[in-house]
Amino acid sequence: MIRLNNDTPNEVLQDVKIGSMVTDTFSKTGLVESIDISDDGLYRIYEFNLVTGRTITVKK
């Protein structure tokens, strides 16, 4: 299981694949259904959409 938060290294965030088991260590845990990566000029924003319908968002 991969822990996703703002302290997670970029290499780990890049290695997360669809089907990976992830958690935010609080209430969101599940398999990754889709991954959206965007860049707002200041941060790179990773949105991991889980099969449970929840989303884990990490700004780096």
DSSP-H helix ranges across the chain: 10-15
Q: What pLDDT does residue 41 have?
A: 93
How confident is the model over 2-57, as pLDDT tens digits?
999 999 999 999 999 999 999 998 899 999 999 999 999 999 999 999 999 999 99
Tell me what pLDDT residue 10 has: 93
pTM of the model: 0.92
Q: How confident is the model at residue 13, as a pLDDT?
A: 96
pLDDT digits (tens, 9 = 90+) for 38-47: 999 999 999 9
Domain regions of the chain by residue span = 2-59
d(CA 58, CA 52): 18
